Structure 1
């Protein structure tokens, strides 16, 4: 098979600028998918993303402390002159939360230090990264352990266990991977460019399937990071201050409501950081090369129909071939694999029939604008719900915390809405061009 392939680093924006559409053919003349150049609009760097997340979680934790330790200073006959009982807050608890929440921002800042030494070679940069990673993680662990020791001296064992419990869960989920603890996304050596996985427009089926395995693994790691990061941040910013509130009366419903809003905000914010539109476009391009097989259900009258696809029946007496891993199959092909029949539903297909991971990958990233549409609706619901709840808030500290969460979600809403509008327009045009190309090819035949 002849592989007329072209590497597209970082989604292929540089190569696509020279030629809007590219056509790749295999030995059988099956046309490979054509991609529309993705617009090169600026995105926030990893350092800015971590800074925004750190500031949001720090101020969210401060709002929760205010909800718990607020005073009645506003009453006319009150002799209290301060708004918050600061002396009741455990200082080492604040230090623990700030240190833990700032770890990724500080690590990103230290990693930016290598940019100051442009004369460093690749080997020296790897040594610099190795030294910074292990020295910083060791120092961070020592400082967190010191804070836990001081807290243990002033409280019982149960609060301390609740304080370190998420770190134990991290070891069970990620193992002893320091990189996942210090960064939101981990890069595989040789497979990334500017923080993004690379996509190679190849016509070789084995190369495409290997690339899908790399992208699928990267997506799973990012997804675990999103879930764990949102839960971890909401836990320390919303729940931990409540666990250490001793002999203090506060509104439990409002504090846990604040923790819930913080969790939703962190979930959408982490998703916007880890899944930018350029990243989803790389997975979209790979899914078009992968294709999709639909299992055919044999009927007693000799016909077979596609399960779950809504397509019309296909005659079982038509041409049917045995699936070969080194072949590129065009739309409408019917193959036999493991005593079952499968129909090609994509423009081209190199996926393994019956492989559920390949099917999920294609269905999820065939049109990523759907993902951003769901995220946009979710973020809009968070903002509108916060406004409605804010309307019914009476006490000053509730108004302050809800206003903070609602206003900061506007930044995430803007980013997700922008990604949705851009991806919708691009993939709608791409689908239209693909349909016109298919119609023209059919008429020529």
Structure 2
């Protein structure tokens, strides 16, 4: 099976002076830009479907927790009740609060999709429609949530109500008063986007590449904060809040909070599968190959003193890794190039490097996304552990409500496990082939020189 390769960069021939051992390309159009393998266009779930799955999972998980708290001994012969759950003990406004809060993103996505039914709307009218829906829906939602909190406050003390709204206060501290972050898991930040995904332009300009990295880094940070906060928020309201509002009655505290922990890990992996699909990671991977990475070198590692490595005129003395030159921001550097910047020596580690030497943000970006298959391998291992732990607990469970709760959570985790495993297998095969092609290209270039 052949592998098609995209050679991105200049369409003209790539030339390089053989005496230019430091890999300096003042003309970026001549730089040997990285080659990318086209990513397969396998179908992925839409944002609406993702939000529906998350809403159903959290709603049923909260229901299972209420069953754990208010179950009865209906199966005992001496029991004087035929009900499986003491429903009358459950606070109805608490249930309404949880359902309203957990369904906000699904309902909002459903309302946004309503514009697709209006085919004649222009781009400006669609933008106005989204604003109207956003502010109208958020106002109605906050009003209903405040009403539920007021009803609960009339029956409870101040501390339970404070614990109920505490995560919303944390949200304001993390995201500020951004309504969009509250209503959607991911949204477009400033930059180039297409179908909700940031775009990679494969530019040969160092400044353009660094600007693109800033946009992608901001988008990733927003998604990561959303994933962590969403998983904690869902686990808190589905697993912890029902326990905080439980009436004075006996229940298995260890099992209840163990179930809340299981819900949190399940929400975390599910949110990762939704927020970081393989296609999205491939965009960041391509950008990282264009960015490159500078590794700091010790002076004694290349021999001589610092004065021998100094390159005030741009043409330094020879070193163990080749010639050393002064780093220039508008230059594209090839692999193993050695430069001097701010009195320190750096070695280029990427196929090409336009990153800022000593910039920790650029270094983290390259190390994290040069091979996203590692990320999906870790997520696959975590999700496999979640599924196996659920099966193990189910094997030792005895009471009916424990069996019902863990069976539901373990079954729903199968869908997430399939998505993460698929992303891992696809990315592993693609990036293994991409690395092999890059090594072969580097070998051929050395032989030609």
- TM-score, scaled relative to structure 1: 0.92
Q: Is the 1:184–1:225 contact (alpha carbons within 8 Å) kept by the matching residues of 2?
A: yes
Corresponding residue for 1:352?
Answer: 356
Measured in 2, the distance between the counterparts of 1:300 and 1:375 equals: 37
1:22 counterpart = 2:23: no
Measured in 1, the distance between the counterparts of 2:242 and 2:302 equals: 68
Closer/same/farther in 2, CA of residues 252 and 374 from structure 1, 3 Å limit: same
DSSP-derived class of the 2:201 partner: strand
1:215 counterpart = 2:210: no
Can you give the 5+ residue segments of structure 1 that lack an aligned partner in the other structure? Answer: 1-18, 305-313
Measured in 1, the distance between the counterparts of 2:193 and 2:289 equals: 20
Q: Deviations over 1:359-404 (max 9, x none)?
A: 0000000000000000000000000011111111111000110111
1:144 counterpart = 2:148: no
Measured in 2, the distance between the counterparts of 1:212 and 1:205 equals: 11
Q: Is the 1:379–1:413 contact (alpha carbons within 8 Å) kept by the matching residues of 2?
A: yes
Corresponding residue for 2:431?
Answer: 427
Q: Of 361, 368, 390, which residue of structure 1 is paired with 2:365?
A: 361
Corresponding residue for 1:329?
Answer: 333
1:319 counterpart = 2:334: no
Measured in 2, the distance between the counterparts of 1:274 and 1:194 equals: 14
Measured in 2, the distance between the counterparts of 1:33 and 1:177 equals: 38
DSSP-derived class of the 1:239 partner: helix
DSSP-derived class of the 2:36 partner: coil
Measured in 2, the distance between the counterparts of 1:343 and 1:141 equals: 54
Greater mean alpha carbon deviation, residues 372-381 or residues 182-191: 182-191
Q: Is the 1:23–1:31 contact (alpha carbons within 8 Å) kept by the matching residues of 2?
A: no
Measured in 1, the distance between the counterparts of 2:136 and 2:102 equals: 18
Q: Is the 2:391–2:410 contact (alpha carbons within 8 Å) kept by the matching residues of 1?
A: yes
1:341 counterpart = 2:345: yes
Can you give the 5+ residue segments of structure 2 that lack an aligned partner in the other structure? Answer: 11-24, 306-317
> What aligned pairs does 1:220-299 form with structure 2 within 5 A after superposition?
220-299=221-300
Closer/same/farther in 2, CA of residues 148 and 438 from structure 1, 3 Å limit: same
Measured in 1, the distance between the counterparts of 2:223 and 2:166 equals: 22
Q: Deviations over 1:262-302 (max 9, x none)?
A: 00000000000000000000000000000011111011882
1:443 counterpart = 2:444: no
Residue 20 of structure 1 and its aligned partner are, at CA, apart by 3.5
DSSP-derived class of the 1:154 partner: coil
Corresponding residue for 1:403?
Answer: 407
The size of the alignment, in residue pairs, is: 419
DSSP-derived class of the 1:383 partner: helix
Corresponding residue for 2:375?
Answer: 371
Q: Is the 1:33–1:347 contact (alpha carbons within 8 Å) kept by the matching residues of 2?
A: yes
Q: Spell out structure 1 runs of 4+ moving beyond 6 A.
A: none
Measured in 2, the distance between the counterparts of 1:205 and 1:161 equals: 50
Corresponding residue for 2:50?
Answer: 49
Measured in 1, the distance between the counterparts of 2:418 and 2:282 equals: 19
Residue 116 of structure 1 and its aligned partner are, at CA, apart by 0.6
Residue 23 of structure 1 and its aligned partner are, at CA, apart by 3.9
Q: Is the 1:60–1:238 contact (alpha carbons within 8 Å) kept by the matching residues of 2?
A: yes
Q: Is the 1:107–1:182 contact (alpha carbons within 8 Å) kept by the matching residues of 2?
A: yes
DSSP-derived class of the 2:177 partner: coil
Measured in 2, the distance between the counterparts of 1:418 and 1:104 equals: 26
Q: Is the 2:8–2:202 contact (alpha carbons within 8 Å) kept by the matching residues of 1?
A: no
Q: Deviations over 1:85-118 (max 9, x none)?
A: 0000000000000000000000000000010112
Q: Is the 2:278–2:423 contact (alpha carbons within 8 Å) kept by the matching residues of 1?
A: yes
Residue 30 of structure 1 and its aligned partner are, at CA, apart by 2.0
Q: Is the 2:302–2:321 contact (alpha carbons within 8 Å) kept by the matching residues of 1?
A: no
Measured in 2, the distance between the counterparts of 1:361 and 1:236 equals: 33
Q: Deviations over 1:221-258 (max 9, x none)?
A: 00000000000000000000001112111000000000
Residue 191 of structure 1 and its aligned partner are, at CA, apart by 1.8
Measured in 2, the distance between the counterparts of 1:106 and 1:129 equals: 13
Q: Deviations over 1:207-226 (max 9, x none)?
A: 00000000000000000000
Measured in 1, the distance between the counterparts of 2:142 and 2:203 equals: 45
Measured in 1, the distance between the counterparts of 2:137 and 2:249 equals: 37
Residue 347 of structure 1 and its aligned partner are, at CA, apart by 1.0
Q: Is the 1:303–1:316 contact (alpha carbons within 8 Å) kept by the matching residues of 2?
A: no
Measured in 2, the distance between the counterparts of 1:398 and 1:361 equals: 43
Measured in 2, the distance between the counterparts of 1:322 and 1:315 equals: 14
Corresponding residue for 1:4?
Answer: none
Q: Is the 1:302–1:317 contact (alpha carbons within 8 Å) kept by the matching residues of 2?
A: no
Q: Is the 1:302–1:316 contact (alpha carbons within 8 Å) kept by the matching residues of 2?
A: yes
Residue 441 of structure 1 and its aligned partner are, at CA, apart by 1.2
